[in-house]
């Protein structure tokens, strides 16, 4: 693969994905003609806005007349990606480069500025371009706005789509963006609190973190640090990571942000600023910490939560931040569909990891690597979780390994969260590929500690059964004899966090998957 930097002149000729012009499409026998506005052409199908509504017609079945007709001989697929700069500047270019290499294309970069650029894929044999992937980067909200206006084909999102954006997309005929086909996860990240390496503080509670950014705590001495003022740093309010912090930390603690917070458009600049100031604290992404130190979360019950690649994969860390790719409900050009297929290939996960993000490669975690977790389970066991229940749990799990994918639920709901929905598809693909043939998969339900232990075990059992059913439904080619899919539930027996906060209870309500050798 060859990477060539080209001039701005080409970029100025770039037109967006919805360059609408009038055309007339006529059937090959000449009996039927349909006039309308050409919305797009993907090399195989015309997408037309006609008096009868939106229509998709195959290229080989019709002839095209009018100024909007594409040049069939020199067709080049044009695909526009818009949205979060963190994904568009770092991750997607790396994935595109690897896709081009694997597919045998030459790659040419066309740069307008840091936020507007294109990648042209060229056939080395014909010496002609076959596709151009255009990037228009700003923030997640702008990405959805461009998709809805017809100015983009894919949204790069550092947060999940909102209800308001879903409604607008459906009105625009783009489908339901929360459907599995419309919402993909291309990598994982996390919201983290950063301080300077020489700041003596190593951990903080979520409540204190919220109070800091609300201005209720203004001196480090109030939370065990030095007698010095606290200086606050946040990403720009328009960025997805800031919106996630606002929702999951500030609003969860019913607090508002202080007025005197320094805002940063660039995550690297934020991390560098915090690392250089022993009295600063900032919110950033796990993928962009620079030389700063990550604070772990602590709680009154003694359980600490550290952001790491593993804790993000398992969602044991409460502020995970999936990196989303949202797709409209219309057909993309063939090369776009091939790129989407590549993103599901295991080789893409190596690129995700190399780009500094957390990949979705499934790990098997031995019991010997979970000592702290089981120690906490014993120390934090409630009055209704006796020694016999803990022994039952250890006996059932001790010969197995925990998979790094875990299933958690939306707050106050039995519906899976976005990362868990992606895990259903991921596990189903692994089962279909025979990854665990001849072994036993155990879907293990856990709960929070609110309510009677017996009731919690029943709830955990139902959740485990629901997750197993979802995976079985998604694994369409799985044969029952390939492996054993079993259920277990231990309710509140192994808390991952304290039950004294909504986010702690949410972390505890989960379904883990363990793999065991069949006897």
Q: What is the pLDDT of residue 380?
A: 64
Q: What is the pLDDT of residue 189?
A: 97
DSSP state of 492: T
Alpha carbon distance 344, 430 (integer Å): 11
Strand ranges inside 100-257, DSSP E: 106-113, 116-122, 129-138, 154-157, 183-195, 203-204, 231-235
Structural contact between residues 240 and 189, judged by C-beta atoms closer than 8 angstroms: no
Structural contact between residues 105 and 124, judged by C-beta atoms closer than 8 angstroms: yes
Backbone angles phi, psi at 425, to 5 degrees: -65, -45
The CATH code of the domain at 362-517 is 3.30.1330.60
Q: What is the pLDDT of residue 286?
A: 97
Return the ∠ at Cα 285 (arms to 283 and 286), rounded to 5°.
120
Tell me the Cα Rg of the chain: 26
* SS3 state of residue 427: helix
Low-confidence ranges of the chain (pLDDT < 70): 1-21, 302, 380-383, 519
Listed in order, the ranges of the chain carrying CATH 3.40.190.10 are 77-182+327-354, 189-314
Q: What is the pLDDT of residue 20?
A: 52
Is CATH 2.30.30 what the domain over 22-65 is classified as, yes or no? yes
Listed in order, the ranges of the chain carrying CATH 3.30.1330.60 are 362-517
Give the tens place of pLDDT for each residue, 193-217.
999 999 999 999 999 999 999 999 9
Q: What is the pLDDT of residue 21?
A: 66
Structural contact between residues 307 and 288, judged by C-beta atoms closer than 8 angstroms: no
The CATH number, out of the four listed (3.40.50.970, 3.40.30.10, 3.40.190.10, 2.60.40.1220), of the domain defined by the range 77-182+327-354 = 3.40.190.10
Give the tens place of pLDDT for each residue, 237-265.
999 899 999 999 999 999 999 999 999 99
What class is the 189-314 domain? alpha beta
């Amino acid at each position: 693969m060859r990477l060539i930097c080209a001039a701005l002149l080409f970029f100025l000729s770039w037109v967006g994905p919805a360059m609408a012009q009038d055309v007339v499409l006529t059937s090959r026998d000449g009996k039927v003609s349909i006039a309308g506005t050409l919305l797009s052409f993907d090399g195989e199908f015309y997408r037309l806005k006609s008096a009868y509504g939106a229509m998709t017609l195959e290229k080989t079945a019709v002839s095209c007349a009018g100024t909007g007709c594409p040049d069939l001989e020199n067709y080049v697929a044009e695909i526009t990606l818009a949205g979060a700069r963190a994904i568009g500047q770092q991750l997607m270019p790396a994935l595109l480069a690897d896709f081009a290499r694997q597919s045998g294309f030459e790659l040419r970069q066309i740069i307008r500025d840091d936020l507007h650029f294109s990648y042209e894929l060229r056939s080395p044999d014909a010496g002609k371009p076959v596709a151009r992937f255009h990037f228009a980067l700003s923030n997640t909200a702008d990405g959805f706005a461009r998709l809805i206006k017809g100015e983009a084909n894919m949204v790069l999102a550092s947060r999940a789509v909102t209800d308001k954006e879903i409604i607008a997309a459906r009105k625009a005929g783009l489908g339901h963006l929360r459907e599995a086909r419309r919402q993909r996860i291309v990598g994982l990240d996390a919201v983290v609190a950063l301080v300077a390496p020489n700041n003596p503080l190593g951990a903080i509670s979520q409540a204190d973190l919220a109070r800091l950014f609300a201005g209720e705590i203004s001196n480090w001495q109030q939370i065990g640090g030095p007698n010095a003022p606290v200086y606050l740093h946040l990403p720009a309010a328009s960025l997805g990571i800031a919106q996630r912090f606002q929702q999951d930390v500030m609003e969860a603690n019913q607090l508002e942000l202080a007025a005197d917070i320094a805002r940063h458009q660039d995550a690297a600049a934020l991390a560098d600023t915090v690392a250089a100031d022993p009295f600063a604290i900032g919110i950033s992404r796990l993928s962009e910490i620079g030389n700063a130190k990550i604070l772990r979360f602590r709680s009154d019950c003694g359980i600490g939560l550290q952001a790491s690649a593993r804790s993000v994969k398992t969602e044991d860390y409460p502020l995970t931040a999936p990196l989303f790719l949202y797709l409209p409900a219309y057909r993309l050009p063939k090369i776009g569909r091939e790129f989407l297929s590549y993103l599901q290939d295991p080789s893409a996960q190596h690129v995700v990891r190399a780009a500094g993000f957390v990949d979705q490669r499934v790990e098997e975690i031995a019991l010997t690597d979970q000592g702290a977790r089981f120690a906490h389970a014993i120390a934090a066991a409630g009055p209704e979780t006796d020694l016999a229940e803990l022994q039952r749990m250890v006996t059932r799990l001790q010969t197995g390994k925990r998979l790094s994918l875990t299933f958690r639920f939306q707050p106050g709901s039995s519906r899976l969260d976005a990362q868990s929905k992606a895990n259903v598809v991921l596990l189903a693909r692994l089962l279909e590929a025979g990854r665990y043939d001849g072994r036993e998969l155990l879907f293990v339900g856990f709960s929070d500690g609110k309510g009677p232990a017996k009731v919690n075990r029943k709830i955990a059992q139902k959740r485990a059964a629901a997750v197993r059913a979802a995976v079985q439904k998604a694994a369409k080619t799985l044969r029952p004899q390939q492996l054993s899919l079993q259920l277990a539930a231990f309710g509140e027996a192994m808390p991952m966090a304290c039950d004294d906060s909504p986010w702690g209870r949410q972390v505890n309500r989960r379904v883990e998957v363990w793999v065991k050798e069949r006897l």
